[in-house]
Amino acid sequence: MSHVCRCHIVPASALRRLAEDPDLSTELRSALEDTLRVDAEVRLLRQQANRLAQVAGPPRALAEAAAGPPEVVVFDCGHGRSLPGSPISDPATSSDQTAKDVFAETTKVAEFYSSVFGRASIDNAGMALLSSVHYGVAYNNAAWTGSQMLYGDGDGRLFIDFSKGNDVMGHELTHGVTQYTLQLDYSDDAGGLNESLSDCVGSMFRQWQAGQTVAQADWLIGADIMGSQAKQKGFTCLRDMADPGAAHCLAAQPTQYSEVKPGMDPHFSSGPPNLAFYTACMAAGGSSWETIGKVWYDVMMTAGPHPHLRMPEFAQLTRASASKLFATQASVATAVDTGWKKIGL
């Protein structure tokens, strides 16, 4: 049976640690407690959606999906907590900058999946992409609920508007892709892989938009949503794929597979496979989405539903995929092998 999914960009443990920080104002700590309570309910939505996906199986590709990009719809919660909120008639030209940004970036994520991987939306069948903005008051998170995206505005001090992070969008929407492909549970190795795949795609999407090579990228997750008070505490990002255990990460992670323990929060157990991906990309060089990214995505597409997938098994699948996809470029398979050996696999 699937474990409850905690697929928010900011892990609960990090929010809890901040909520208990006596250096923060009562107002900020109260906002963090509110976020934790809301997140607990959103997890239930994700759990049910994942179970439904496992029962229903992958959707059949629709002929219409090839006709064009998926519909992108944006709703305004008006700082309330009823989903999806009120539809925004023309988000592309909205005077609401958050709605405008969410429409533009969601459209770009769909374009990324289409142009790089040939994927027709989240479900590969042209699924409409729904997003709700201005969710709650000082809501400090963003999440994929199992059927749509929701974005908080942040409290303005620890976190700013979560729509400001294009890697946040790529990360959360990829939880939807995983829901329709590997259907990974959210515990143990599978949970860590679930989070890692989203970080990998979120980072790739950020690099793709910026036209960056692997050497030019900073490999940070969530750098664009950190507020001034978080930065004053020395936190420049949520996670760093190049250095998962760094002190500048709000949610620092282990780096070796031997450190992954049963029951570990997937936001932390994702550290080793994140480092493996980064190391493989650096070894391969060039653009992350052109080689190593294609290998990781190929496994997502071809392995079939695999709720309890373990990291050693995933590593072997990527090794096999690299040899298959890049049969005439042995350097890619070598890079993948280097990545996994870096973390003890």
Catalytic machinery residues: 172, 267
Please count the CA atoms within 13 angstroms of the CA of 310 that sit on its side-chain side.
8
Please count the CA atoms within 13 angstroms of the CA of 190 that sit on its side-chain side.
18
Q: Residue 144 region, left (φ>0) first, then alpha (ψ -120 to 50), else beta?
A: beta
Strands 72-76 and 129-133: parallel
How many C-beta atoms lie closer than 10 Å to residue 55's C-beta?
A: 7
Backbone angles phi, psi at 281, to 5 degrees: -65, -45
Q: In the structure encoding, which two tokens stand for residue 307, read together?
A: 């709720």
Q: Compute CA 4 distance to the chain's CA centroid, rounded to the nearest angstrom.
A: 17
Minimal CA–CA distance to 34: which of 161, 135, 130, 137? 137
* C-alpha–C-alpha distance, residues 159 and 154, integer Å: 5
DSSP state of 220: E
Q: Is the peptide bond before 266 cis (omega within 30 degrees of 0)?
A: no
Q: Residue 282 region, left (φ>0) first, then alpha (ψ -120 to 50), else beta?
A: alpha
Q: In the structure encoding, which two tokens stand for residue 237, read together?
A: 């990002």
Cα Rg of the chain, angstroms: 19
Residue whose pair of structure tokens reads 């939505």 in the numeric block: 45
Scored b (16 or more CB within 10 A) or e, 203-224 reads: bbbbbbbeeeebeebbbbbbbb
**Alpha-carbon distances, residue 81 vs 6, 31, 137, 155, 313 (angstroms):** 18, 14, 9, 16, 40
